[in-house]
Amino acid sequence: MNEILTELDQLNLAVIAPFLVIQFILMLVALFDWFRIEKTNGPKWLWLIIIVFVNLIGPILYFVIGRRQD
C-alpha cells in the first residue's frame, strides 16, 4: 500500500510540474511586458494583480485582452 502511494506522489508531480513551469514562464513574460508597455486596456495596476494572482489564466488574459494594440 505504501508503495502505491509513493508511485501516486511521483505521478502527481510529473503531471503538475509542466503546468508550474508554464505558469512561471508566462508570468515572467507578462510581467516584463507589463513593465515595458505604457498603456493597457484598463487600469495598469489591475492587470498587475491579475497577472500575479490569477494562476495560469491571468497572464493569458493579459496577452489576449490587456495589451493595447496601437
Q: What's the pLDDT score for residue 4?
A: 64
Predicted pLDDT at 58: 92
Kindly state whether residue 14 falls inside one of the protein's structural domains. Answer: no
pLDDT score of 48: 93
Domain count, the chain: 1
Supply the pLDDT for residue 8. Answer: 62
Range of the domain at 47: 22-70
- Give a yes or no: residue 30 inside a domain: yes
d(CA 67, CA 59): 11
Residue 13 forms part of a structural domain = no
Q: Give a yes or no: residue 9 inside a domain.
A: no
DSSP letter string, 26-38: HHHHHHHHHHH-S
pLDDT at position 50, please?
Answer: 93
pTM here is: 0.74
For each successive 10 residues of the chain (70 residues), what is the average pLDDT?
65 81 94 91 91 90 83
Q: Read off the amino acid at residue 1.
A: M
